[in-house]
Amino acid sequence: MNKRYALFLGCTIPARARSYEMSVRALASRLGIELVDLDDFTCCGFPMAAAHYWVSQALAARNLTIAEKRGLDICTLCSSCTSSLTEASHFLEERPHEKREINQRLAKVGMEYRGPVKVKHFVRILWEEIGVEGLRENVVRPLKGLRLAAHYGCHFLKPSEVYGGFDSVEDPKVIDELIRVAGADPVDYSLKKQCCGGSVLVADERTALAIAADKLSELKALDVDAVVVVCPFCGVMFDSQQKKMEKTFEQTYEIPVLYLTQVLGLAMGMGEKELGFSMHAVKVKALLERLGEGGEAKG
């Protein structure tokens, strides 16, 4: 199988989740997945769905069309971009009247979408195209003894009708299994499936923070080493907003937030610099020192 995809970064990653992007590029290069940067991509359309359905669909379809012109399928890193582009790709096939409607709009910018263009989250590509065995072969430093909590978030798996049977929504396992591949212990917990709260920020900050803090409270009680995410929205929510949650609810969490690609990168022997840990708001240092990684871990 030719593992070649157009890399769709979306809005948040290049500006606010560079460590995620670094770890993805490092893993892709190690595993022989070619990610092609296309300059013309714009916002996936997701943030505009609440404002105007057809506008959001047109923005999504515009991006699909750009990949189609280059003859590439799309690799996404953000779960919200994944759902926005996958929904567009799915429904434009399923509902011909929507495709006509969208193509009338795309004509204004001289484009036409034929389809289908496939859209896959990078972690799904790892799971389906590299596979557990292929990944395990590359592990040189199992992360023994690390207790990691998988956060699936919402749009990595939902709406399930457009994801063609990728993992179970009510009993997901992909992230837990990949944590195991890295040699760490996935920690089960009751709020595993709960949303990060990020999409509520625009309407009601306190409620959004309460949803995220709820999960962090449980993880604090379980004494996990880190929470593991696959979406920059969730990453920013748990990492960059954690201080604000601590202040708002008068709690201390101090739970590091790792991207799954960083966890796998560590297990494959990649270093702190390559994986961008210094950019995280909640310090990852203590965790790295335990693994013998990082400047002060001398003995």
Quick check: 271 binds other proteins (CB under 8 A)? no
- The span from the CA of 284 to the CA of 274, in Å, is 14
Residue 75 β-bridge partners: 7, 120
Return the residue of 6, 27, 28, 59 that touches other proteins, per CB under 8 A.
Answer: 59
Quick check: 298 binds other proteins (CB under 8 A)? no
CB 152, CB 229: distance < 8 Å: no
**Eight-class DSSP state of 140:** S
Beta strands in the chain (DSSP E): 4-8, 34-37, 73-76, 119-121, 147-150, 185-186, 226-229, 257-259
Return the residue of 32, 34, 36, 207 that touches other proteins, per CB under 8 A.
Answer: 207
Residues contacting 157, CB < 8 A, separation 6+: 163, 166, 167, 168, 169, 172
- The span from the CA of 192 to the CA of 171, in Å, is 9
The neighbour count for residue 14, using CB atoms within 10 Å, is: 11
Quick check: 227 binds other proteins (CB under 8 A)? no
Return the residue of 72, 77, 130, 200 that touches other proteins, per CB under 8 A.
Answer: 200
Name the residue nearer to other proteins (CB basis): 181 or 288.
288
Interface with other proteins: number of residues (CB under 8 A): 56
Question: How much helix, strand and coil, in percent to the nearest 5, is found in the chain?
Answer: 50, 10, 40
Return the residue of 132, 139, 210, 291 that touches other proteins, per CB under 8 A.
Answer: 210
Quick check: 12 binds other proteins (CB under 8 A)? yes
Quick check: 240 binds other proteins (CB under 8 A)? no
- The span from the CA of 75 to the CA of 143, in Å, is 27
96-155 residues near other proteins, rule: CB under 8 A: 105-106, 108-109, 154-155
Quick check: 174 binds other proteins (CB under 8 A)? no
Quick check: 197 binds other proteins (CB under 8 A)? yes
Write out the residues near other proteins by the rule CB under 8 A. 9, 11-12, 14-16, 18-19, 21-22, 25, 37, 39-40, 42-43, 47-55, 58-59, 62, 105-106, 108-109, 154-155, 158-160, 169-170, 193-195, 197, 199-204, 207, 210-211, 214, 274, 276, 279
